[in-house]
Structure formats: C-alpha cells, structure tokens
Amino acid sequence: MPQPPVDPARYHQRMQRVLAHIDQHLDGDLGLDALSAVAAFSPYHFHRQFGAVFGVSLLHYVQLARLKRASWRLAYRGQLSVTEIALDAGYEAPDGFTRAFRRKVGQTPSAFREDPDWSAWAAAMAPLAEARSRIMTQTFSIDDVALREEPDVPVAFMAHHGAPERIGETIRRFIAWRKANGVRAATHATYTIFHNDPDSVPPEEVRIDLAAATGRAITPADEGMEAGLIPGGRCAVLRIIGNSDDLRPAAHFLYGRWLPESGEEPRDFPLYARRVLFFPDVPEQEAITDLYLPLK
C-alpha cells in the first residue's frame, strides 16, 4: 500500500527541531547519529537532507554555531580563558581551536579578543545566518502585537555612529562600562535605540544607542556615556524569539502591515528594543527581544 506524501511543513518542523537542538546542546554530542535521531530520519540520508535544505553541510553548520558562541564569549566574556572557550566549543586542546578559529575568522582567538575584525567575522558567519534564515525566520501576525502603556525609563547610553556591522566594538565598550559600574544586565534593563533606518541613510549617518536603565549620575569619568530618557507612553510591542542580529523583518512588519491596519500613528521617538534574554547567556533560539514602536 503506498505511503501518504510527506507534509512539507512537517518536514521543515523536523529540521527546525534539529537546529533548536543544536542551539541547546552546543556542549553535547552533535554527531550525525544523534542529530538524525532528533529529526527521526535515517543517518544514511540525513547529512544529504540537511545540506539540501540549509545549503551548508551538517558538520560545517555545527562548527559555525560553536564558533559563533565562542567568538561572542571572546569578545564579551573576558572572565573566560581561551582554553575554557576552546573546550566549550568542542575542541580537546586550544591549538585545534586556534587553527579552526583563524581559518574561519582570519584572527587567532587571542587577537580577536584584543581587537575583533567584525567585518571578517560577519563574512565568516554569513553561511550560518543564511542557513538559519531558510526555515528559522520568525513570522508575525497582527495578534502578536501588544499595546502597552510604558513608564518613563531613565537610561545611561552610549551612541554608536557608523555601519551597524561595526557595532561590536561599541558593545564591548558599553559592557566594560556596565561591569565597572555595577550596572548589571540582570538588574538593569538593556535597550537598543534605532535613530534611523540603516537601509535609508549612508553608513556614516547611522546612529544606534546602547542603553541601560539607570538613574545614576553620569560624570566625565564615564567616558562615552550620556544620560538620557526613554519617554513613557503608549507603544506597540512585538516580541522576537530567537536570533535578533537582524531586526529588520520585525520592523518592516510593524511599519508595513501592523501600523496601516491598526489606524495608529507613531509619536516623535525612535523605534527601540529591549533585550530581555541574551545569547550566549541562553541558547540562541531562546533569546527574547521586545521591539517597541512608540505611538501617539
């Protein structure tokens, strides 16, 4: 008796389950047998199925996912040694990690920690982003948007001017300030304020503020920091689950579909986001970002 045809949506759900498992188990067994079992496909075929769906081999995808987490830890988690990061990335010794990292990113882990080349890093991670975008992009509906009345939020912020792909260095300086001043992400909400659309202005005119909720006074010793305020009022809020490296699809949904259908009008304050749960503190597919559109 012939078998019923496979539902393409269910097929993709099984593949999504594999990517979620990889995100959650970067320290574990991510070999062919383990991952084909997660997808409930035969290991004799799964590596070809994965490559056909995602455009990158299973081994390469796992390597890039581990290297992405390792690079974030190198850049933003100075308390971890290169050896610790290497072991967490699945390497038995730092030498193997160093060779793999330099081959992909063009810098040794120590050099990247000291002065990351973010352009080279973005190019190295492009196949990972492309693979995930094929079936892991979150889709939105009108019902996903909540209307909230938000209070005033005093903040300390650091402005980034220039191409968004170079924001990594601003993030490093912002994190260093937070650590030095006890403004911890666990107790002081983290915001990103988008003053303009990077797709609509020259790179040198892009401005993005990194902000922490705090009313502490800013002094000349707080180099690069300024005091500011996210004004209270009505906001449309859209929650993004998972990767938030590119919030443009969510922003396009708010402006292109939700706003015209809602009958609302934006008020005179930029689009901004609150980073609720961060990668690599949580697996990437568990990260949470709330995107706020201020309304009149």
pLDDT tens string 111-144: 999 999 988 998 999 999 889 888 777 789 999 9
| Contact (Cβ atoms closer than 8 angstroms) between residue 125 and residue 172 | no
Euclidean distance between CA atoms 174 and 193, whole angstroms: 14
Measured CA to CA, the distance from residue 207 to residue 201 in angstroms comes to 10
Q: Compute the distance between CA of residue 240 and CA of residue 291 in angstroms, rounded to an integer.
A: 7
- The reported pLDDT for the residue numbered 244 is 87
Residue after which a domain boundary falls, among 134, 152, 181: 134
Phi, psi (deg, nearest 5) at residue 42 = -65, 135
Token pair 């903040």 in the structure block, residue: 155
Instruction: Confirm if 142 and 161 have CB atoms less than 8 A apart.
Output: no
- Which residue in 243, 244, 290 sits closest to 271, CA to CA? 290
Residues 29 and 127 occupy one common structural domain? yes
Q: What pLDDT does residue 4 have?
A: 54
Co-location of 14 and 35 in the same domain = yes
- Of 93, 118, 134, the domain-final residue: 134
201 inside domain: yes
With respect to residue 167, please indicate whether it lies within any of the assigned structural domains: yes
Domain range for 240: 142-294
Instruction: Flag whether the pTM goes above 0.75.
Output: yes
Per-position b or e across 202-236, b if 16+ CB within 10 A of its CB: eeeebebbbbbbbeeeeeeebeebeebebeeeebb
Q: Please say which residue of 134, 150, 185 terminates a domain.
A: 134
If asked whether residues 185 and 221 sit together in one domain, one would say yes
Residue 3 lies in a domain: no
Same domain, 150 and 21: no
Q: What is the CATH number of the domain that holds 44?
A: 1.10.10.60
**Are both 128 and 156 inside the same structural domain?**
no
- Does a structural domain hold residue 1? no
Six-digit token string for 59 = 């081994």
Please give the pLDDT value at position 78: 77
Q: Is residue 214 part of a domain?
A: yes
Tokens of 133: 């975008």
Q: Are residues 250 and 276 in the same domain?
A: yes
pLDDT the model gives residue 253: 96
Residue 241 and residue 136: Cα distance in Å, rounded? Answer: 10
Return the axis-axis angle of helices 32-39 and 8-24, rounded to nearest 10°: 140
Residue 37 and residue 110 in one domain: yes
- Confidence (pLDDT) at 132: 86
Residues 198 and 289 in one domain: yes
Domain shared by 16 and 84, yes or no: yes
At residue 20, the 3 state secondary structure works out as helix
Could you state, in chain order, the average pLDDT of each consecutive group of 10 residues for the chain (296 residues)?
64 91 91 94 93 93 94 88 89 90 94 92 91 81 96 97 89 93 94 94 94 93 95 97 89 96 96 94 90 98
Considering the domain architecture, whether residues 193 and 122 belong to the same structural domain is answered as no
- pLDDT for 259: 96
pLDDT for 202 equals 92
Instruction: Please check whether residues 127 and 157 belong to one and the same domain.
Output: no
Residue 276 vs residues 176, 181, 185, 190, 244: alpha-carbon distances, Å: 19, 20, 9, 7, 11
In a domain, 111, yes or no: yes
Residue 292 makes CB contacts below 8 A (sequence gap 6+) with: 150, 235, 236, 237, 271, 272, 273, 274
Sign of CA dihedral 35, 39, 40, 42: negative
CATH of the domain at 223: 3.20.80.10
Q: Give yes or no: residues 119 and 229 share one domain.
A: no
Using only the alpha carbons of the chain, give its radius of gyration. Answer: 21
Identify residue 58 by its one-letter amino acid code. L
Structural domains of the chain, count: 2
Residue with tokens 């409930």: 40
Rounded to the nearest angstrom, the gap between the alpha carbon of residue 174 and the centroid of all alpha carbons in its chain is 17
